[in-house]
Amino acid sequence: MNAITSASAIRTVHVPLGERAYDILIGPGLIARAGAEIATRLKGRKAAVVTDENVAPLYLKALVASLGEAGIASAEVVLPAGEKTKSFEHLITACDKVLEARVERNDYVIALGGGVIGDLSGFAAGIVRRGVRFVQVPTSLLSQVDSSVGGKTGINSRHGKNLIGVFHQPDLVLADTDVLNSLSAREFRAGYAEVAKYGLIDKPDFFAWLEANWKAVFTGGSARIEAIAASCQAKADVVVADERENGQRALLNLGHTFGHALEAATAYDSSRLVHGEGVSIGMVLAHEFSARMNLASPDDARRVERHLKEVGLPTRMSDIPGDLPPAETLMDAIAQDKKVKSGKLTFILTRGIGQSFVADDVPASEAISFLREKHA
């Protein structure tokens, strides 16, 4: 794996996947430079820009202008904002608009938005004409450090989150750190949960750095760029080692099995719970469950909860507004989760801070007992 390199204010993380290798550029002003960056790396000269109603008024005009300056013709696809956009209905709309724009295989779909737009756009890019080029321009912290990297795309089903999709790697990721200044405090905190996750997976020194420097990350500047670059490098390393999640890439799901169940339990209502908040609660639950299984010290779970609570994230099921369904319903969602293999429950558990591992065949009786206890 190549090291992170510097070029003026821009940091570059390289993802070496052979013919599908790509760069992640991280730094200020990248939307204004998007056309030039794309044109120097990719052959196509047409693009369909997929975004949502919240992001479009802020950044679509600047991105389209940048593409035009580089000689790239573009069509605009503006979808509703929110998790419920990850549906067959909106996927069909995106695919139809991409085809109407006459985007060919060497042209590109550009995702301008957060994780919802990135996941849906990547799925569309992966199936239109059996695969066209794909560029990610993530506009949330969560999407910059997680969903824009690694090629996992998809939409939700009534059976659960992200159950329908394809692996389709981007050809370029442009993470403009200036756009993060427009995020609400809640959105930024939700993205930070994914940053903390990388430390908790296998980088205890990074987690300790975050405990000491999180305020600077929230403020912006070099600490923010450093945290994003370190997160992208951590994910890139895992993706290169296990691109299609046959083994260790599953570690990236730390906190997600519990978190996805909680999202489903709230019907993906963002007024109650957004993805990063579900991951925050899920990571605490994963560490507590590990302690319950005598795999880790309860002190580690308390340390994780203390840090996430300090930055303003929810850490308990009781922090979610409104009533939750019974533990048995949450268990059903976990059992439907895509991380179940041959009917066996699979969790990402831990032996301590930065010592996560894939635990196969976790007894269902232990899981349901734990959920009942935490639901009370």
In the residue annotation, 215 being an active-site residue is answered as no
> What are the helix (H) ranges across 266-360?
275-292, 298-310, 327-336
Q: Which of 37, 83, 187, 194 is catalytic?
A: 194
Choice among 33, 133, 203, 235 that is catalytic: 235
The pLDDT assigned to 340 comes to 60
Is 140 annotated in a binding site? The answer is yes
Beta-sheet strand order (sheet of 10-15): 5-7, 10-15, 22-27, 172-176, 133-138, 108-113, 46-52, 73-79
| DSSP annotation of 346 | -
Q: Check the CA dihedral 323-366-290-301 and report its sign.
A: positive
User: End-to-end distance of the chain based on CA atoms, in angstroms?
Assistant: 46
Asked about 307 being catalytic, the answer comes back as no
Instruction: Output the CATH code of domain 185-375.
Output: 1.20.1090.10
- The DSSP secondary structure of 199-243, one letter per residue, reads HHHH-HHHHHHHHHHHHHHHH-THHHHHHHHHHHHHHHHHHHH-T
For residues 2 and 15, give the distance between their C-alpha atoms in angstroms, rounded to a whole number.
8
- 115 is annotated as contributing to ligand binding: yes
Please report where in the chains the tokens 């949450």 appear, as a residue: 330
Q: What is the CATH number of domain 5-182?
A: 3.40.50.1970
Please write the tens of the pLDDT for every residue from 64-113: 999 999 999 999 999 999 889 999 999 999 999 999 999 999 999 999 99
Q: Please report, for residues 6, 196, 211, 313, the alpha-carbon distance to residue 204 in angstroms, rounded to integers and kept in the order given.
A: 24, 10, 11, 20
Instruction: Render pLDDT for 326-346 as a digit per residue (tens, 0 to 9).
Output: 999 999 888 876 556 666 788
Q: Is 235 a catalytic residue?
A: yes
Residues in the chain, overall count: 376
Task: Indicate which residue of 37, 83, 187, 245 is catalytic.
Answer: 245
Q: Is 245 part of the annotated catalytic residue set?
A: yes
Closest CA to 335 of 298, 363, 312, 375: 363
Q: What is the pTM of this model?
A: 0.91
Q: Where are the domains of the chain?
A: 5-182, 185-375
Q: Is 194 a catalytic residue?
A: yes
374 is in an annotated binding site: no
Respond yes or no: is residue 130 known to be catalytic: yes
